[in-house]
A = this chain, B = another copy of it.
């Protein structure tokens, strides 16, 4: 969806400015999306020939992408039997959220100390846009901005390793969060929590921000957990 296949990507005039996305990356995001959005449900065995044909590429680059995603933890490699979309248990999800919460809290404290005012303003901008989507009831756009805010907050902490591992867990959880359609009142709560977060960040109150984030993610778990009884 986001990126179609990059073949007709020639613009007259400015060949420099356009970063040609390598096929490798294209396949990677496409496959990732297919998993996250449920097109390839957990437990599915990935048939290389089939998926490759569907994507219009040969097995070689596809397999490379599969290996990459296996390292990300979205795919499981079964010897001599190929690749399977990883299935997460409720406990695994709970654990992931637990770690994610810890990481974001660490990031929050750091960010409150070392973030620039511009950086915080950037989050505010995302936050406001997210509120707009909320008012419009655009769940998908809201959801995306929500993720962006969390990511951007971690980025503010200016710690590449932290950003890396956070992104890793967030990716694994994306699929899950995709499922949790919360009712209106829970959604409202989530928005309220974000308001608190925003205020704490702008006040550079690291402890308070960390606390709110912990609470927020605990709520996220509550919102998601019943959807996992299967």
Binding site for B on A (CB under 8 A): 20, 22, 24, 60, 63-65, 67-73, 77, 79-80, 92, 95-96, 98-99, 102-103, 106, 159-162, 164-165, 168-169, 172
* Residue in A60, A63, A64 with the greatest tally of chain B CB atoms within 10 Å: A64
Establish whether residues B168 and A92, one from each chain, have CB atoms under 8 Å apart when the complex forms. Answer: no
5 interchain pairs (CB within 8 A)?
A24-B67, A96-B161, A98-B162, A165-B168, A168-B168
A68: chain B residues at CB < 8 Å are: 67-68, 70-71
Taking a contact as CB atoms closer than 8 A, the residue among B65, B92, B161 that contacts A169 in the complex is B161
Taken together, the copies of this chain in the complex come to 2
Contact A99/B95 with A68-B68, A70-B68, A165-B169 known, Cβ cut-off 8 Å: no
Establish whether residues A102 and B102, one from each chain, have CB atoms under 8 Å apart when the complex forms. Answer: yes
Establish whether residues B95 and A160, one from each chain, have CB atoms under 8 Å apart when the complex forms. Answer: yes
